């Protein structure tokens, strides 16, 4: 029997093929790098979410405390109508009224303001507040309340510091 001629593509290859070395390792390293970048991105989103949640918590507390003071003003309607709440900026110590003794509506306004400011200081970081008449309520800071004594309604302003940034919440009150 005579051998049949074969084409070059049908001949068995006896030459050595170069085997790829380290490709699987390189693919694994690239996959680890990509997964690490994804994990870092996820962690950054979680931190941003916690930060927003914290800010929301402080604003919510400030809102509740502002409504607490507005309820105090409405409870002392006589004092509110007489103007006892018109310019409460610096808290004063009140010892002559409260649970042990009766007090005038004006003294009750001062006591309300002192107790409310003590609560602000305990509940909010750097918390303080003022109650006043103000025609432009969306101004002021903890150092200078910005109350001008004008305006048709009382303004409750709550100030606090959050991560080094001064924050303010303003609530208008009609007694």
Q: What is the mean pLDDT of residues 155-170?
A: 90
Q: Which residues form the domain of 64?
A: 59-173
- Let me know: does 142 contact 166? Beta carbons within 8 Å: yes
Domain annotation covers residue 166: yes
Tens-place pLDDT, residues 26-80? 888 999 999 999 999 999 999 888 877 778 889 999 999 999 999 999 999 999 8
- If one counts the domains in the chain, the total is 1
Domain annotation covers residue 131: yes
Buried b (16+ CB within 10 A) or exposed e, 69-88: bbebbeebeebbeeebbbeb
Residues 6+ apart with CB under 8 A from 103: 94, 96, 97, 111
Taking phi over 0 as left and psi of -120 to 50 as alpha, with beta for the rest, 164 belongs to left
| SS3 of residue 61 by DSSP | helix
Q: Among residues of the chain, what percentage have pLDDT more than 90?
A: 35
Domain annotation covers residue 26: no
H or E stretch covering 157:
strand 154-162
Buried b (16+ CB within 10 A) or exposed e, 134-154: beebeebebeebbbeeebeeb
Q: What is the mean pLDDT of residues 143-163?
A: 85
* pLDDT for the residue 87: 78
Residue 98: pLDDT band by 50, 70, 90 thresholds? low
* pLDDT for the residue 5: 57
Domain annotation covers residue 137: yes
Domain annotation covers residue 18: no
How far apart CA 3 and CA 159 sit, in angstroms, is 101
Domain annotation covers residue 38: no
Domain annotation covers residue 127: yes
Domain annotation covers residue 115: yes
- Let me know: does 116 contact 102? Beta carbons within 8 Å: no
Q: Among residues of the chain, what percentage have pLDDT more than 70?
A: 85
What distances in angstroms separate CA 12 from CA 20, 38, 122, one per listed residue? 21, 48, 87
């Amino acid at each position: 029997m005579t051998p049949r001629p074969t084409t070059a593509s049908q001949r068995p290859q006896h030459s050595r093929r170069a085997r790829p070395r380290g490709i699987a390792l390189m693919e694994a390293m690239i996959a680890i790098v990509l997964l690490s970048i994804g994990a870092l991105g996820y962690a950054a989103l979680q931190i941003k979410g916690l930060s927003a949640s914290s800010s929301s918590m402080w604003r919510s507390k400030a809102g509740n405390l502002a409504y607490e003071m507005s309820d105090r003003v409405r409870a002392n309607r006589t004092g509110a109508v007489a103007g006892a709440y018109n310019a409460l900026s610096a808290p004063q110590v009140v010892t002559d009224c409260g649970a042990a003794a009766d007090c005038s509506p004006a003294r009750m306004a001062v006591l309300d303001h002192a107790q409310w400011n003590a609560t602000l200081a305990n509940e909010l970081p750097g918390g303080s507040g003022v109650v006043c008449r103000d025609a432009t309520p969306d101004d002021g800071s903890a150092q200078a309340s910005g109350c001008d004594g004008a305006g048709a309604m009382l303004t409750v302003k709550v100030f606090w510091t959050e991560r080094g940034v001064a924050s303010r919440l303003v609530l208008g009150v009609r007694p």
